[in-house]
Amino acid sequence: MKVIISGGGTGGHIYPAIAIANELKAIDPATEILFVGAEGKMEMEKVPRAGYTILGLPVVGIKRELTLSNLAFPFKLGRSLIRAQQIVRDFQPDAAIGVGGYASGPLLLAASLKGVPTLIQEQNSYAGLTNKVLARWAKRICVAYPGMDAFFSADKIKMTGNPVRSDIQSANQQVDAGRAFFSLESTRSTLLIIGGSQGARTINESIEGGLQRFVDAGIQVIWQTGPAFIERARTAIAKTGSALIKAYDFIYDMDKAYAVADSVVSRAGALSVSELCLVGRPAILVPLPTAAEDHQTKNAMSLVDHQAALLVNDRTAREDLVTAALNLLADPAQQLKLSQQIKTLAKPNAARDIANEVIKLTK
């Protein structure tokens, strides 16, 4: 079996794609997989790191405001469609998977025109524009939230949940390894802060302003800042003179980070939400307000409505986030309740279920 997986742009698209690929290979090691991404985007580095081949398309997104870069959009889209058709013709896939992001549009359209069965994996509670356009040609649409028939034909929908890397699923077995990896003390509480693969400015500035409060409370902090904020974070940490705060531009060993976290502060991207459900960590979610159709708030509310997470609004985070985190870390009963509730929303077999849907399409 030969499968193309297309999409990317963010870790929320890339890591589910890699999880699906890993499951397809686990089911049948002879399966050939080719990734297609957007040139210059993070998938061009993350996918090869996971051991897969990826080809790039020159496609870019269109900005909502009027900019000069929008003038190049139709030309790059046209070139991407031609390149996608060439890739499909050369690779001759039995199925094509789109996980969202710029590259999935041209590739899945090219595959559909060649009669290749296509599957869409929609991670969010509000469907992205690319997936809504591609849905008319897709044979199957795998989703993570109820009510997605508002965007897609009900007879194509399969509720699978979002695929998560296998190492995340075994995170709870990595506590000792995680403490050694991050040089943590077992007697102190640990807060994990993740703002997505590129970091989150609001979260970063909120934490920066409250670093001394964490130090005074004796809290250990693992802080993923994203590459743009890392030097500023290191400067702020140095001013505290404490070794309790540890900043990283990106954390590859997320299984170890989740393993040692007593609580987590996070954006509410679909992948982060799915991972938190699987590892069962009490979380404070700070949805990105500029996400398309405010889908991160919808993702977060799917947990908050089940008393499975707390929510801090982005616009009040600089005043409220550190206090909320300290209060949660000081309240074991609330931590236990949130942990128990969030575990009930986990879908640990999502990657395998999606892989099986792909296999069905090829029969």
Residue 39 annotated as lining a ligand binding site: no
The CATH number of residue 265's host domain is: 3.40.50.2000
Using CA atoms, how far apart are residues 44 and 36, in angstroms rounded to an integer? 9
Residue 275 annotated as lining a ligand binding site: yes
How much is the mean pLDDT over the chain? 93
Pick from 275, 21, 252, 18: which is nearest to 144 by CA? 275
Q: Which domain holds residue 101?
A: 2-164+348-362
Residue 197 annotated as lining a ligand binding site: yes
Q: Say if residue 208 is in the same domain as residue 259.
A: yes
47-58 pLDDT per residue, tens: 999 999 999 998
Residue 12 annotated as lining a ligand binding site: yes
Total domain count for the chain?
Answer: 2
Residue 262 has pLDDT above 80, yes or no: yes
Pick from 136, 168, 152: which is nearest to 281 by CA? 168
For 35-62, what is the mean pLDDT? 90
137-176 pLDDT per residue, tens: 999 999 998 889 999 999 999 999 999 888 898 898 999 9
Q: Say if residue 160 is in the same domain as residue 78.
A: yes
Q: Say if residue 316 is in the same domain as residue 338.
A: yes
Q: What is the DSSP string of 35-100?
A: EEEETTSTHHHHHHHTT-EEEEE---PPPSS--GGGGGHHHHHHHHHHHHHHHHHHH--SEEEE-S
Q: Say if residue 190 is in the same domain as residue 320.
A: yes
For 321-338, what is the mean pLDDT? 98
pLDDT at site 186 = 95
Residue 251 annotated as lining a ligand binding site: yes
For 27-55, what is the mean pLDDT? 94
339-363 pLDDT per residue, tens: 999 999 999 999 999 999 999 999 8
Residue 122 annotated as lining a ligand binding site: no
Q: Say if residue 297 is in the same domain as residue 235.
A: yes
Q: Strand pairing partners for 221? A: 191, 245
pLDDT at site 96 = 98
Which residues, other chains included, contact 300 with Cβ-Cβ below 8 Å and sequence gap of 6+? 268, 273, 285, 287, 309, 311
Residue 165 annotated as lining a ligand binding site: yes
Q: Say if residue 335 is in the same domain as residue 236.
A: yes
Q: Say if residue 139 is in the same domain as residue 286.
A: no
Q: Say if residue 72 is in the same domain as residue 186.
A: no
63-103 pLDDT per residue, tens: 666 666 666 667 778 898 999 999 999 999 999 999 988 88
Residue 232 annotated as lining a ligand binding site: no
Residue 62 has pLDDT above 70, yes or no: no
Pick from 257, 242, 277: which is nearest to 349 by CA? 277
Q: Supply the pTM of this predicted model.
A: 0.85
Using CA atoms, how far apart are residues 191 and 196, in angstroms rounded to an integer? 16
Q: Say if residue 13 is in the same domain as residue 155.
A: yes
pLDDT at site 295 = 87
